[in-house]
Structures are given as structure tokens and as C-alpha cells.
Structure 1
Amino acid sequence: MKKLGRFLGVLLIAVALAVTLGTLVPRPLWQTAVDKSATRHILVLKNPIHTDIAIPLDDSVRQRFHFLVEAGIPADIPEVRYIVFGWGGRAFYLETPTWSELKAVPVMKALTLDASVMHVYVAGDIVEPHPDVAGFDIGDDQFAALLDFIQASFQQGPDGPIHIPNAAYSKFDGFFEANGHFNALVGCNTWTAAALRTAGLRTGWWNPLPVSLGWSLKLYNR
């Protein structure tokens, strides 16, 4: 038992050190030249374990993601101001709509290896400033690169992105099969960080938690 306790203690210290270094070491190491026009305002939304990216809706975004309406997500109604995208583990996402429904198997898959899905929902006005909302201004080229990254995250079938039927939390969201595999090291927040880097933002080198991603975004994107 003592050996197990020491092992767990060392493991916790190693994880804490990795998270700290992953936050303090920027990625990319050096700031590259970016478009300073800053014509687009995107949002990063967080809860204690997960982050999403909110994309402001206009005609070009609506056209690019037209398949959402075909899947029953009402991205075409006038009240919609944002389409919100998140990537995550298939079992945990689909089988845990609320914390009260937490089960052992989805948690084990999330910690080991799981298939991935894209969760998409639409939103009206999102209040800023807010502790769970971070806004960033980027240029048109960076915005286009971000949309390309998000679109490439959807697994494609013969007719486009593969919608998962009867898998939604409300009438305003839905799930699609995604590319890549989910685990404790490469999870939803590392996907968000990678997406933001394509938009010219800097993150920490490894950000598995919303809090570490938020800190690194504040540190390197002033």
C-alpha cells in the first residue's frame, strides 16, 4: 500500500508539472505575423471540464454549414447569432447529458481511448464579459482557416458529414461523427487549442483543462 501511495503521489506531481509546463510554454514558441485587421470576433465558451468555440453567424457561415439545418439543427432561424462547435469523446458525450447520468463505462473510455464526435448547437446573443466566455478578434484569413479546421473535424460519408440520429440534448443541437480519437491526453480542450492556433492565436503547449487553456490564452494573446 505504501508503494502504491508513493506511486500515486509521484504520478500526481508529474501530471501537475506537465499541466503547468503545458500552460507556461507557448505554442507556437514565437509569434508569427498575423492579419491585424481583426474583423471577426469569435468566442471560447467553457465549463469546468470542456470548451467550445462559438462562431458568429453570417450568410457565408450558414452556407458552409448548411448540413446542420438538414440534420434538424435550426441554424436558419433569425434569432441565431452563433453556431457553437465542440469535439469530444463519443461515449461520454452521448451517454452523459447531465452529471446525474454519469456512468463508469463512458468515464473509462474517456480516460483510455474512445471514438470522437462533434457536438454542434446554435445560440442567440452571448453576453460579454462573462467568466465563462472569452472573446478574440481575428482577421478574415485566420477566420477562414478556423472554419476549415472545424469543417475538417467532421467525418465525411457519401452525403457529407455523418449525423448521429436521436442523439441531442435539445431541439437546438446535434451530434456528428468526428475524425480522430479521444483520450485523457488528447481531449476536447486540446482540440479547441489546436483550432485556435489555426486562427493565429497562441495557446499553451498542452492544455487538457479549460482553466489551463484560459490562462495560456490570456498570457499570449494580449
Structure 2
Amino acid sequence: MIETNGVHTAIVMPLVTPQKDWRADFPAGDVDDSQRPYTHVSVSWGEREVFLNTPTWADITVSTAIGAIISGDSLLHVAHYVRPAPGADLRPLVISPRQYARLVAAVERQIVPSDKRTMYHGYFGNDVFYDAPGTYHLGNTCNQWTSDTLATAGIRVGLWTPLEGGVMKWIPEPLQAGSR
């Protein structure tokens, strides 16, 4: 699935599949609410100061935004979910096993080994931040990361997608019950 909060996009994947068990890379023990029966992980990439210092978009400052646009360090944001339901902001994406294997490999390249990364508390009990490679700037945004990761897996997306609408326009909204 691909999710959006209206500004930022993320890739939501099953926690365990034949291709990948994410529990070793993103253990539930890293989140405050670690005892829930998680079924999926949401992974996104973004600018460190924005992620850590803007729990809501109302908290962003001009200096933080300008710093991110110019150049900033990056983090992965990982949220754990229990049976997420598709909707307008969480859209299912049907891909082949080969595409999923390529998607997994692309995400794995963004994971700093656990003994070399710092972990930061997330916004809620089910999420966490980890150090990640790369530099955030206007040409390499959080939404561009989602798009590039999907493209690496062979999924059709736009070439330059700095904003969330540029990613989400490629992911169809799920059909509502009773519609065709």
C-alpha cells in the first residue's frame, strides 16, 4: 500500500512475507507500544529536523523548512500497523512477487545496520525514526524517495515527484463497496 497524510507519502508492506521478514530490521521492541499484534510496517524517508521537530505540520518553522530544502540529513520513519484498511489515504498497490522483491531490496539499501544507527522516538506509540543514508534537498524530497523506490521496483510513477500529489496520482484509489 501507499499512504499519504496529505503532505508526505510512505510505503506500507506486510511485516512478514516469503520474500522478507521486516521484524529483524524494524523490531516492534523499538516502539513504545511493542505488544500489539503488528501485521504491517510503513516506511518513509525524510529530512531529520523536519521529522524530529515537527510532530504536526503546524509545528514547522520557516527556518526548518528552508534548511530542509537547501540540504539536510535524513531519517527513515517506520510505523507499525495492525491490519491497515485501504482508503483514500491508504491505497492498495497490486504488484508481482518480482516487483515486491525489488521493492524490498530498494528499501533494504536505505537501512543502516542496527549496530551503527541511532534510533529516535516517534510521534506515537507505534512509530520510530532511524538514521538513514542520503541528503534531503529540493531535488531529493521524501516524496521523491517514495517514487524512486517504487520505480526501482518497476512500478510506474512520475519522473519528478517532489510533492505527495505527484506520487499519489499514480496509485489508484480503492473501489468502494458497491461501486464498479
Same-fold status (TM-score > 0.5): yes
2:119 is the counterpart of 1:164: yes
Q: Paired residues, what number?
A: 172
Report the counterpart of residue 153 of structure 2 in structure 1: 199
Within 5 A, what are the aligned runs for 1:57-206? 57-58=15-16, 63-69=21-27, 72-73=30-31, 77=35, 79-128=37-86, 130-156=87-113, 159=115, 162-165=117-120, 167-206=121-160
Give the SS at the match of 1:180.
strand
1:44 shift after superposition: 0.2
Look up the equivalent residue of 1:148 and give its one-letter code. Answer: A
Aligned-residue RMSD, C-alpha: 2.4
CA separation of 1:200/1:127 partners in 2, compared to 1, >3 Å: closer, same or farther?
same
Within 5 A, what are the aligned runs for 1:24-35? none
Q: Please identify which structure carries the higher helix content.
A: 1
Instruction: Name the CA distance, whole Å, in 2 between partners of 1:214 and 1:99.
Output: 19
CA separation of 1:132/1:54 partners in 2, compared to 1, >3 Å: closer, same or farther?
same
Larger radius of gyration: 1
Mark the runs of 5 or more structure 1 residues left unpaired by the alignment. 1-42
Instruction: Name the CA distance, whole Å, in 2 between partners of 1:127 and 1:133.
Output: 7
Mark the runs of 5 or more structure 2 residues left unpaired by the alignment. 173-180
1:63 shift after superposition: 3.7
Does the aligned pair in 1 maintain the 2:33–2:125 contact within 8 Å? no
CA separation of 1:149/1:77 partners in 2, compared to 1, >3 Å: closer, same or farther?
farther
CA separation of 1:208/1:143 partners in 2, compared to 1, >3 Å: closer, same or farther?
same
Report the counterpart of residue 209 of structure 1 in structure 2: 163
